[in-house]
Amino acid sequence: MPIVPAGSVVVDGNDSLVFIEESPGHFRRRKIQTGQEVEGGFVVDAGLQGGEIVASRGALLLNELGKSKQ
């Protein structure tokens, strides 16, 4: 199971989100299911595969920017 830093997870209502890097500098929001909290992060039970790159800083900013484009 992948582990993501706590700062990369954005909680929006009942959803936990991360931003996946699709290409350099381009990110897409993705809903995940978090599991156990581990030192400085969360185990991801669903929604993310090992090897995918997530934004570890600036996730809140990316979330707000994405909302403003909708």
* pLDDT tens for each residue of 22-56: 999 889 999 999 999 999 999 999 999 889 999 98
The encoded tokens of residue 9 equal 């997870």
Beta strand 10-12 pairing with 26-38: unpaired
Rounded-to-integer distance, Cα 14 and Cα 21, Å: 23
In this prediction, residue 8 has a pLDDT band, given cuts at 50, 70 and 90, of very high
pLDDT number for residue 43: 95
* Position 41 in a domain: no
Of 9, 34, 29, residue with least CA distance to 19: 29
Q: What's the structural domain count of the chain?
A: 1
Q: Whole domain around residue 61: which residue ranges?
A: 3-34+53-69
Q: What is the pTM of this model?
A: 0.82
Average pLDDT value over all residues in the chain: 87
* Position 17 in a domain: yes
